[in-house]
Amino acid sequence: MIRLETDEEKHINFMERIYAGEKIEADDWMPDEYRNVLIKLISMHGISEIMGALPEKEWVPKAPTLKRKLGIMAKVQDEMGHGQLLLRVTEDLIKPLGKTREDIMEDLFNGKLKFHNVFHMEAPTWGDAGLIGWLIDGAAIITQTNMLNASYGPYARALKRICAEEVFHAQHGEAIILALAEGTDEQKRMVQQAVERWWEPLLMFFGPGDAKAVGTSKQDITAKYRIRSKSNEELRQDFFTKYVPRILSIGLTIPDPSMHYDQEQEKWIYQQPDWEKFKEIVRNKGPKSQERLRLRKLSYENNEWVREALARPNDAR
Amino acid sequence: MTELTEPLFKKAVVELLYQLADDDFILAYRGSEWLGLAPHIEEDVAFSSINQDTMGHAAMYYGLLEQLGEGDMDTLSHARGISERKNAVLLELPNGSGHYLKEPRYDWAFTVVRHFYYSHAKKVKLESLKHSSYEPLAHAAVKISMELYYHLMHWTVWFNQLMNAGGEAKRKMLEAISRVEQDFLDVCSLGPLSAEMASLKLIDGDDALMQAFHENMKPVFDALFIPYKGEFQQHSGKGRYGEHTQELHQALATLTEVYRTDPAAAW
């Protein structure tokens, strides 16, 4: 006689699979909690890639040389490509719930789906364009590398490709920053001011150290399901270890006098960002949140006729 | 190969290269203004790839001008004034109303039609340039053609799909076609030295290029059951003669904003 597995048995088998290092695929059974945490994580990642094109958009035509124009065009195109890849992964996860990409966009517009804090910020100079490539993409490499072995196969595979491209972006950003840091006084000032603007958002990028700071944290669930391994704080410390010496070595100053490495505690000591401000920013109350959502929404409305035309059968002449 | 030491030959090569470079430079810019605003994410990815290719083509042409002693490519692309620009006026016109960062209400039909027509015209020129008496240009034409193949395929799909969709889409497309044709003569023109360019075998003359263009376009319209008139005008000015609209002023102000803060600096 065939006996159907109970949900509890399915759950036990599932956990055994991920602890044995097996990958879960889109059509496999998975606990609701796992599906929901993946949807939240991957849709947020995907939409952040797309919203992340907007602060850089301004600098695509303004890039100061042909080489830089080509470089930033290639970079932003990659980011859109990452967004597309991740939305495809999300679409498979939301399909059993009867949802589509339209719902993802709706959630973005009504504020249910959040995007990364850094993409709510202003990028007023060419120095910011370079810094986004160098340090924001550098930070993204650190958080994404942490999930390369994620238990969910489609996400792990997408991240492998994304991380490979992010390395190029970080090099592109670093090249812009080095040129400015070795340049005229005005160029040096431009890059120093960008560091000052982006330092706090960069600390926030890794998320709060624990739930105390902002009330909730998905860290425990993502660790339990082997989606990520390191904690937010460990990732932030990795970022400091990699980038603080580099920032200082090109003559830039970090806008935190307390910043230093404590040999005894074996960790970086730094001024915590304002987590209340972080909460406001990701609730779409950052300096550029509404303007960027407006751009996205306007294009969505403005092109409605195109989507309608594509959905119509071709013989409807 | 005719010698570059002949002043007329060099003058004609330089003139042609400016037209080719400026056309791609300004259209790549108009395309890049769409970033993040395209009808769907897949199109955003594809369109930005096309813009990147097109900016790359401009860079190749500016590079050839640099080799001819016209100045370095960044100066050529960023520092030349509006009356020195040789791009066709159609290509400098905005994508629609609004600014690329503020309230853009861009017209996808106009964009599809402009790119579709331009890609066809570019293909006709490149086919001719592959046999150019100026060898570096013939080599560039071969390389650029490889990428243009995909651009043309891309815009053909959009053109046919929106025309076939009927209703509002078709109405918008027909409007866009008539708008593009009002200024398309300029795209097909080779300007004041066109006769010399043809006699020096740099590229076919205006008439031959135009005929090839019509031969490529007519079957597309026939398949859509739309009459192909092929009557083009140049309402907004003759770009090959340095005549441009206010729109180019604004476009260049954006394109050169950072460069102009310190043209001598290394960026």
- Please judge whether B169 and A308 are an interchain contact, meaning their C-beta atoms are less than 8 angstroms apart: yes
A-facing residues of B in 51-90 (CB < 8 A) are 51-52, 55-56, 58-59, 62, 73-74, 77-78
A295/A301 Cα distance (integer angstroms): 10
**Beta strand B105-106 pairing with A260-262:** unpaired
Q: Which domains does chain B have, with CATH numbers?
A: 7-261 (1.20.1260.10)
Structure tokens at A183: 């340049």
- Quick one: CA dihedral A258, A261, A265, A270, positive or negative? positive
Provide the shortest C-alpha distance from residue B124 to chain A (in Å).
25
pLDDT tens track, chain B, 267 positions: 556 789 999 999 999 999 999 999 999 999 999 999 999 999 999 999 999 999 999 999 999 999 999 999 999 999 999 999 999 999 999 999 999 999 999 999 999 999 999 999 999 999 999 999 999 999 999 999 999 999 999 999 999 999 999 999 999 999 999 999 999 999 999 999 999 999 999 999 999 999 999 999 999 999 999 999 999 999 999 999 999 999 999 999 999 999 999 999 999
pLDDT tens, residue by residue, B193-227: 999 999 999 999 999 999 999 999 999 999 999 99
Q: Where are the alpha helices (DSSP H) in A63-132?
A: 66-94, 101-109, 126-131
What is the 3 state secondary structure string of A253-307? CCCCCCCEEECCCCEEECCCCCHHHHHHHHHHHCCCHHHHHHHHHHHHHHCHHHH
DSSP per position, A125-141: SHHHHHHIIIIIHHHHH
Provide the shortest C-alpha distance from residue B204 to chain A (in Å).
29
Q: Are A87 and A43 spatial neighbours (Cβ–Cβ below 8 Å)? A: yes
Please report the pLDDT score of residue A5 as a whole number: 86
Task: Among A53, A66, A310, select the one facing B36 at the smallest CB separation.
Answer: A53
| Other beta carbons less than 10 A from residue B159's beta carbon | 23
pLDDT tens, residue by residue, A58-102: 999 999 999 999 999 999 999 999 999 999 999 999 999 999 999
| Other beta carbons less than 10 A from residue B94's beta carbon | 18
pLDDT tens, residue by residue, A220-261: 899 999 999 999 999 999 999 999 999 999 999 999 999 999
Say how many residues make up chain A: 317
Alpha-carbon separation of residue B39 from A311, A315, B114 (angstroms): 13, 22, 16
What are the phi and psi torsion angles at B178 (to 5°)?
Answer: -70, -35
Residue A217 has, within 13 A of its CA and on its CB side, a CA count of 17
Stretch A106-123: mean pLDDT: 96
- Please report residues of B whose CB lies closer than 8 A to that of A295: 36-37, 101, 104
Residue A48: closest CA among A118, A97, A98, A109: A118
- Please judge whether A298 and B39 are an interchain contact, meaning their C-beta atoms are less than 8 angstroms apart: no
Rounded to two decimals, the ipTM of the complex is: 0.96
Domain A7-311 has CATH 1.20.1260.10: yes
Task: Among B55, B58, B165, select the one facing A309 at the smallest CB separation.
Answer: B165
| pLDDT above 80 for A217 | no
- Going from N- to C-terminal start, the domains of chain A cover 7-311
Please report the pLDDT score of residue B2 as a whole number: 56
Question: Best interface-test mutation with B: which of A122, A178, A299 has the largest number of B CBs within 10 A?
Answer: A299
What are the phi and psi torsion angles at A104 (to 5°)?
Answer: -65, -45
A133/A283 Cα distance (integer angstroms): 24
- Please judge whether A50 and B58 are an interchain contact, meaning their C-beta atoms are less than 8 angstroms apart: no
Stretch A196-204: mean pLDDT: 98
Say how many residues make up chain B: 267
- Please report residues of A whose CB lies closer than 8 A to that of B36: 50, 53-54, 57, 80, 295-296, 299
Task: Among B29, B166, B258, select the one facing A126 at the smallest CB separation.
Answer: B258
| Other beta carbons less than 10 A from residue A220's beta carbon | 11
Question: Best interface-test mutation with B: which of A54, A105, A305 has the largest number of B CBs within 10 A?
Answer: A305
Burial label for B24, CB within 10 Å (0-12, 13-18, 19+), is buried
Please check whether residue B162 touches A, CB under 8 A: yes
| Chain pair A-B, CB pairs under 8 angstroms | 149
Structure tokens at B92: 């400098």
Q: Which residue has the tokens 């040789």?
A: B86
